[in-house]
Structure 1
Amino acid sequence: MKFDTAGQPEQAVVAIRRFARDEKALAVIGPFLSSECRVAFPVGDREGIAMMSSASSAPGLTDGFQYAFRNTMDESVKVKRLLDMMGERKMLGKSASVAYAADDFVSKSLGAEAFPRLLKEAGLKVDGSVSFSFNAFDLAPQVSQLMANPSDTVGLSAPPESAAKFVRELRRLGHKGRVIGGSVFATPEFPGRVGEAGDGTLSTVTFFSGLDNPRVKKFVADFLALAKERKLPEVLPPSQFDSASFDVVYIYADALRRANVTGDPSKLAAERKAVRDQIAGLKDFPGLEGPLTMGPKGDMIKNVYVIEAQGGNWKLFETIR
């Protein structure tokens, strides 16, 4: 059974209630977006049904819930690991600034709260912060503010289209600092859309389609073949959200087997809890993304791949295990 929320948080709430009450489901794959999880996780927790998102990464959304899980990593965790790596390699410089899309939930969570704190903890002086609308036509005013005191590092948090536009404007006005980000703009199409201006931009993902791994290569080949068969308007390699969704299906299948689920309606509450317990105790599951272990707060612990935009493509920069 499925439910299309159309990206609307209130519809995610309707979906969770329908699955829990009407469909008598054992567990839910989703919600997808952080804005949906923010309102739907409390509902599912009260209903006692496990939920697992494959895309949500806004900081702290699973905290305090028993049935809310994410096969993703908190954006702040990924950025912290990126900054640690850059510090070890002496890539950070001395100063930083932050830019973020204020009308995108995840971008604002990372840009307004996590990025300033993490940059300061990394020993950088944060010289400025600007926000913008993700569909803004002209970003020159915001970039000009940063140009008044150019920094060595720019923490950027925005959806791909607006992030690409911001980076192009940053370079057009002569800013030389390295742009870094979490996963918000780390889509397969970003390097091609930002062009040469994006070269050197670092981002963090939990899956990289260019890994020299037989399982990954097969997944990518099958994904591209299916995308062509379905005649999608743009055929691109799978992203971390695609691989995470793939793994969620197998994680649930494994949990159902381990919990000895029967599907007996009279055992629904008990079997939902048994599935939840298996997910909470997940350790070293052989996922497509690498070994997967559920963290104590409901977010998956997994590898972080630092990727760099170069020549219109993402290149693997480093794997952080």
Structure 2
Amino acid sequence: MRKRTAGILAAAAAIALCAGASWAQETIKIGNIVATAGVLKSAAEPTVVAVDIAVDEINAAGGINGKPIELIRYDTGSDPKQAAVAARTLAQDDKVLAIVGPFSSGEASVALNDAERLKVLMMPTSSSAPGLTDGKRYGWRLSEDEFKQFGRLLAAMKKAGIKMDTAEIVYISEEVVSNAAGTKLYPALLEQAGIKHGDPIPVQYKSFDLSAQVAKILQSNPDIVAVAALPGSASKLIAELDRQDYQGRVIGSQIFSDPNVVELFGPAGDGTLMMAGFWKGRTPESQAFNEKFVELANERGIPKAGAHHSDAQAYDTVYLIKQLMEAAGTTGDPDKLQEEREALADGMKGIRFSGILADDICFDGNDAELAGYVIEIKDGEWTKFDEAPADKCD
């Protein structure tokens, strides 16, 4: 589904009239691939709010190079094939200068190929599967990969003296990142840390009864259960683990690290450890974004207890593109479309960026180097257990 954001168009028209120029030639077109339906809805839909906040702030401050952003959206409905259609539609029909999104690694794995072929900058908002941007010129990510973040979690647990000699792994078979984490990343990192584990246990996204899988887990009674799943599926597993009186820790990487899990998991979630790429208390600006995001999301009927790191990444991605366009002198002139697209891709090489995620962010290859925050649900609260600084860029 294609949609222009009405409030942004109104701002665009107003600024264009003040400039005494044609509205259609006086905007900066940016595409936004989103997922507000399907399996990704609960995790992906809030990024729409984060992008809207960034665009509204930029337009209120005068836009980019004196021109307002015209945001053009395409909704994939969580279908990777539609992400490819979105990339082609936004690049060829709408002639956007750059694309924010898509959301997931599954969507990005196909859409990035179209962005490369069509030579338009694409920055996914949440995809964290390792290697997605390798060898790309037009595909970049303001996110940290699952392999590194899960390794940081295990290191923090070891430092804290948490018992983790044995583990079991559970993953969602149909979801790209969950599957990759559960079958490849988690086993490799657990083995590297000297933690014994059984064969990864697959669970289908739509599974309601997880009693058999949990009974299998309890046969070995592991110290930790490593879960690779979105929040809804993770909550079902945690509830069943609690029902069957599991006494160990549940851990996970970035996949289910949404502040909403505090309420979703309930008392059974206490002690759960996970990784996040955003901490709301890092700076006053980070805190202000979190508060604005929660207020607007709830106004739109999207219940949020706090911003997920994917929301913060989406917000900062818009500002990063703004920085790129200002440095490149982007005009939005249709006759210079490919020239200006090329300049944006070139501008990503060696760029440094500061935002609500971190200060002075650099890129190793095409992926940002970000800090990792170890989050613990403690006494029903989203708390910071530990943190790891961002790696240095080569």
The answer (yes or no) to whether the contact 2:283–2:356 under 8 Å persists in 1 is: no
Q: Per-residue deviation at 1:219?
A: 1.3
- 4+ aligned runs moved over 6 Å, structure 1: none
Q: Which amino acid aligns with 1:7?
A: S
Aligned to 2:132: 61
Range 50-59 or range 220-229, more displaced? 220-229
Matched, 1:93 2:164: yes
Query: Which of 286, 302, 319 is the aligned partner of 1:216?
Result: 286
Report SS of the residue matched to 1:131.
strand
Aligned to 2:368: 300
Matched, 1:192 2:263: yes
Range 170-179 or range 185-194, more displaced? 170-179
User: Which protein shows a greater Rg?
Assistant: 2
Matched, 1:116 2:184: no
Query: Which of 263, 273, 279 is the aligned partner of 2:342?
Result: 273
Q: Per-residue deviation at 1:177?
A: 2.1
Q: Per-residue deviation at 1:243?
A: 1.1
Q: CA separation in 1, counterparts of 2:199 and 2:224?
A: 11
The answer (yes or no) to whether the contact 1:156–1:180 under 8 Å persists in 2 is: yes
Report SS of the residue matched to 2:325.
helix
> Relative to structure 1, is the Cα distance of residues 262 and 8 closer, same or farther in structure 2, using a 3 angstrom cutoff?
same
Q: Which amino acid aligns with 2:112?
A: F
TM-score, L = length of structure 1: 0.93
TM-score, L = length of structure 2: 0.76
Q: Per-residue deviation at 1:72?
A: 1.3
Residue pairs, 1:1-321, within 5 angstroms: 1-209=72-280, 211=281, 213-230=283-300, 232=301, 234-283=303-352, 285-291=353-359, 293-321=361-389
Q: Which amino acid aligns with 1:319?
A: E
Q: Which amino acid aligns with 1:238?
A: A
Q: CA separation in 2, counterparts of 1:123 and 1:308?
A: 23
Q: CA separation in 2, counterparts of 1:207 and 1:233?
A: 20
Q: Per-residue deviation at 1:108?
A: 0.7
Deviations 1:122-161 (A, max 9, x none): 1111234211112211111111111111222221111111
Any gaps of 5 or more consecutive residues in structure 1?
A: none
RMSD: 1.8
Report SS of the residue matched to 1:2.
strand
The answer (yes or no) to whether the contact 1:34–1:106 under 8 Å persists in 2 is: yes
Q: CA separation in 1, counterparts of 2:383 and 2:163?
A: 20
Q: Per-residue deviation at 1:306?
A: 0.7
Deviations 1:212-237 (A, max 9, x none): 6311221122223323443x152432
Q: CA separation in 1, counterparts of 2:231 and 2:381?
A: 14
Deviations 1:184-211 (A, max 9, x none): 11112212121222111100011133x1
Report SS of the residue matched to 1:204.
strand
Q: CA separation in 1, counterparts of 2:340 and 2:282?
A: 39
Q: May I ask how many residue pairs the two structures share in their alignment?
A: 318
Q: Per-residue deviation at 1:292?
A: 5.2
Q: CA separation in 2, counterparts of 1:107 and 1:306?
A: 19
The answer (yes or no) to whether the contact 1:191–1:310 under 8 Å persists in 2 is: no
Q: Which amino acid aligns with 2:187?
A: P
Q: Per-residue deviation at 1:181?
A: 0.5
Range 298-307 or range 248-257, more displaced? 298-307
Deviations 1:80-139 (A, max 9, x none): 111122233332532222111112221111111110011101111123421111221111
Deviations 1:245-288 (A, max 9, x none): 110111000001112223344433332122112223222x1110
Identity %: 36
The answer (yes or no) to whether the contact 2:375–2:385 under 8 Å persists in 1 is: yes
